[in-house]
Amino acid sequence: MVGGELVLAALVILLALLLTLVLSHFLPLLLNPKAPKGSFGWPLLGETLRFLSPHASNTLGSFLEDHCSRYGRVFKSHLFCTPTIVSCDQELNHFILQNEERLFQCSYPRPIHGILGKSSMLVVLGEDHKRLRNLALALVTSTKLKPSYLGDIEKIALHIVGSWHGKSKDKGMVNVIAFCEEARKFAFSVIVKQVLGLSPEEPVTAMILEDFLAFMKGLISFPLYIPGTPYAKAVQARARISSTVKGIIEERRNAGSSNKGDFLDVLLSSNELSDEEKVSFVLDSLLGGYETTSLLISMVVYFLGQSAQDLELVKREHEGIRSKKEKDEFLSSEDYKKMEYTQHVR
């Protein structure tokens, strides 16, 4: 009888702790009279799965469209195991970004920290974030000032376009290219070249790309660390990328005076960063430019293809500049400045 009472008491305590945990988790938004309208969805899962549902790039997606129509452009939800306020209001978002580190603090949901790593610029806060951000801006500026910067980009673009010959899906005589995927390869290759000095054809580049794709698939996924889930694969892929980059860093250090003049050389010359922060810098660079750059390029090409007149004007401008250069001569920054119509299209 005593044993049964002890089990019952233990269950009551466990339920009380669970209730306390749930209430402390949700109460900040439930009891706040100024909190926007919305719903929390299922226990634990919240509305994460609906939020992650794929949608076309030129739409908000069914989740945001439905919630904006029901609750307004600012609403509460439960995403990635965290009570969340979602804003689709342009003015509010601008205000938040303008007041970062003053009225608002940039952060990601806790489970995503396991993928990004504790030293990522996207995770650290306060003075550490400011230090890393300022250093990142200085590094990016110094990289873009390199005389070979535009030449490297042009070589990679020619390499990507050259790989299209003979690579097609069999649809009669028509070559079908998934341009968005090619744009991703281009963005990745440019970043890896500028950051690590690696060319697209090097085996280690393909190895990093494979791991990075697994990392990207799991970055925005339900945070459940069970072997085989996208989240678990992303955490493991991040560890492999970290190991690969550390190997490249050690190899570069052992080379002594070898200087490739890339982003990594500048990182290695900095005494402000630990090795873990340097690895995170590399991953942040890939993360920051990969999806955003490739999507922007794809959208520009898509909309340019809808206007024959604009496409013809862009082609005419480029052909005019190319006609004044030698066969194997790369474009310069002066050539880029002459692309006045292209600048408007971009």
| Cβ-contact 232, 223 below 8 angstroms | no
Q: Which long-range contacts (CB under 8 A, 24 or more apart) does 305-310 make?
A: 310/345
Nearest in space to 196 (alpha carbons), one of 269, 133, 120, 283: 283
Residues 261 and 138 in one domain: yes
State how many domains the chain has.
2
Q: Is 24 helix (H, G, I), strand (E, B) or coil?
A: helix
What pTM was computed for the model? 0.72
Residues 138 and 187 in one domain: yes
| Cβ-contact 47, 77 below 8 angstroms | yes
In a domain, 25, yes or no: no
Residues 159 and 259 in one domain: yes
Residues 149 and 263 in one domain: yes
Residues 186 and 271 in one domain: yes
pLDDT over 60 (residue 25): no
In a domain, 161, yes or no: yes
In a domain, 70, yes or no: yes
pLDDT over 70 (residue 6): no
Separation in Å, CA 278 to CA 135, 175, 194? 11, 42, 15
Among 96-100, 125-129, 342-346, whose mean pLDDT is lowest?
Answer: 342-346
Q: Which amino acid is at 111?
A: P
How far is residue 243's CA from residue 249's CA, in Å, rounded to a whole number?
10
Tell me what the pLDDT averaged over the chain comes to: 80
Report the pLDDT averaged over residues 27-52: 75
pLDDT over 70 (residue 22): no
| Cβ-contact 179, 301 below 8 angstroms | yes
Counting beta carbons within 10 angstroms of the beta carbon of residue 6, is it exposed (0 to 12), middle (13 to 18) or buried (19 or more)?
A: exposed
How many C-beta neighbours within 10 Å does residue 253 have? Answer: 10
In a domain, 26, yes or no: no
Residues 72 and 193 in one domain: no
pLDDT over 60 (residue 168): no
The sign one gets for the Cα dihedral 213, 215, 218, 220 is negative
In a domain, 6, yes or no: no
Q: How confident is the model at residue 255 (pLDDT cuts 50, 70, 90)?
A: confident
| Cβ-contact 279, 242 below 8 angstroms | yes
In a domain, 133, yes or no: yes
Residue 251: give its domain's CATH number. 1.10.630.10
- Return the structure tokens found at 171: 């649809």
Residues 187 and 291 in one domain: yes
Residue 256's pLDDT is 64
Over residues 222-238, the pLDDT tens digits come to 777 888 888 899 889 98
Residue 27's pLDDT is 59
Q: Which residue has the tokens 């970004």?
A: 97
Which residue range is the domain that position 47 belongs to? Answer: 36-104
Residue 73's pLDDT is 92
Residue 201's pLDDT is 83
The sign one gets for the Cα dihedral 200, 202, 205, 206 is positive
Residues 146 and 295 in one domain: yes
Q: Which residues pair with 174 in a beta bridge?
A: 171
In a domain, 275, yes or no: yes
Over residues 293-321, the pLDDT tens digits come to 888 888 888 888 888 888 888 889 888 88
Q: Is 228 helix (H, G, I), strand (E, B) or coil?
A: coil
Residue 87's pLDDT is 92
In a domain, 261, yes or no: yes
Residues 298 and 222 in one domain: yes
How far is residue 136's CA from residue 142's CA, in Å, rounded to a whole number?
10
Residue 69's pLDDT is 92
Residue 30's pLDDT is 59
